[in-house]
């Protein structure tokens, strides 16, 4: 969604510099930009908090376009905010920039995990494969893709033989760990709600885990725990992704200072978060 949103901006402002970030690291990304002579800053498909909204006001003008649910924030005078409830951020970006593009439909399908078209499946699978293959250098690939979408179109990506090979390689890997996902999943009950938790150190797309369990298990809430280590600070990091069929996943994420949507949300915790602590703390909101 963010890549498609960025491609719309590049169409109108082709000389723009493009950076990819996340809610957890956005304050650091903004601070890095202070070294550059930036007149207008656009922030797309990332929700704000008090720290990042204040940092963004350092620039002459900031335009913030998003579709996540925000906290109540005091907006600085030089920050213009467009936040609406929508299937994707790309839909709002297109509306604000007055762009009509079929890529909006693709972003809508992907961000709601309601894949209907071959093009949406291709693009989702390509982005997942890049995250898996390129790790920390994925942002360079994402910039290339955003530029390709802006100036040559999705067809160019679909015709690329190397993209097809990468998607196939990633798909084969996902199928190979399918049994592991089912085997290592743990089931719990909290306040009468069925919780499925899966822990991993692998770069697994959440949609694949969700679809795997949706076919084989009934649950109210799915939570994927990504166990990582911050090598620079030498601390354990727990990233959680919460998906829900009917409960408010956002309430769960906000316990851990995360964000997102009602049915899909997440948070990053800069320490080891045990399953026991997680289950105990979510009792208050489900």
- Cα gap 136→256, rounded to integer Å: 24
Residue 243 has pLDDT above 90, yes or no: yes
Average pLDDT rounded to a whole number, residues 256-273: 94
**What is the pLDDT confidence band of residue 156, given thresholds at 50, 70 and 90?**
very high
Judge contact between 80 and 64, C-beta under 8 A.
yes
| CATH number for the domain running over 179-282 | 3.10.310.30
Angle between helices 118-134 and 103-111 (to 10 degrees): 70
Where in the chain is CATH 3.10.310.30? 179-282
Mean pLDDT value across residues 222-247: 94
CA dihedral 227, 19, 5, 39 (to 10 degrees): 140
Say yes or no to pLDDT of 214 above 90.
no
Interval 54-78 mean pLDDT: 96
Exposed (0-12), middle (13-18) or buried (19+): which is 271, by Cβ within 10 Å? exposed
Average pLDDT value for residue range 66-84:
96
How far apart are alpha carbons 3 and 249 in whole angstroms? Answer: 24
pLDDT over 90 (residue 143): yes
Write out the two tokens for 75: 């907006």
Give the containing element (helix H, strand E) for 123. Answer: helix 118-134
Predicted confidence band at 37 (pLDDT cuts at 50, 70, 90)? confident
Closest CA to 6 of 103, 138, 111, 131: 103
When pLDDT is averaged across residues 262-282 and rounded to a whole number, the result is: 96
> Binning pLDDT at 50, 70 and 90, where does residue 203 land?
confident
pLDDT band at 5 (very low <50, low <70, confident <90, very high): very high
More confident residue, 217 or 15: 15
Longest dimension (CA), the chain: 55
């Amino acid at each position: 969604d963010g890549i498609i949103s960025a491609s719309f901006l590049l169409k109108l402002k082709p000389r723009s510099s493009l950076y990819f970030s996340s809610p957890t690291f956005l304050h650091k990304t903004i601070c890095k930009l202070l070294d550059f002579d930036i007149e207008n800053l656009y922030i797309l498909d990332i929700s704000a908090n008090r720290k990042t909204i204040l940092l963004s006001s350092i620039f002459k003008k900031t335009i913030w376009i998003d579709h996540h649910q925000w906290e109540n924030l005091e907006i600085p005078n030089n920050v213009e905010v467009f936040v609406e409830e929508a299937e994707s951020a790309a839909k709002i970006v297109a509306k604000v920039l007055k762009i009509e593009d079929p890529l909006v439909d693709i972003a809508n399908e992907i961000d709601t995990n309601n894949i209907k078209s071959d093009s949406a499946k291709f693009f989702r699978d390509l982005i997942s494969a890049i995250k898996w293959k390129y790790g920390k250098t994925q942002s360079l690939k994402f910039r290339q893709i955003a530029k390709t979408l802006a100036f040559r179109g999705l067809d160019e990506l679909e015709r690329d033989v190397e993209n097809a090979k990468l998607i196939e390689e990633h798909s084969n890997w996902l199928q190979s760990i399918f049994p592991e996902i089912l085997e290592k999943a743990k089931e719990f009950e909290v306040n009468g709600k069925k919780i499925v938790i899966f822990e991993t150190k692998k770069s697994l797309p959440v949609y694949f885990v969700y679809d795997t369990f949706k076919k084989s298990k009934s649950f109210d809430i799915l939570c994927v725990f990504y166990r990582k280590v911050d090598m620079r600070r030498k601390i354990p990091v727990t990233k959680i992704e919460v998906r829900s069929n009917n409960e408010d996943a956002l309430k769960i994420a906000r316990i851990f200072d995360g964000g997102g949507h009602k049915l899909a949300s997440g948070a990053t915790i800069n320490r080891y978060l045990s399953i026991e602590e997680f289950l105990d703390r979510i009792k208050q909101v489900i």
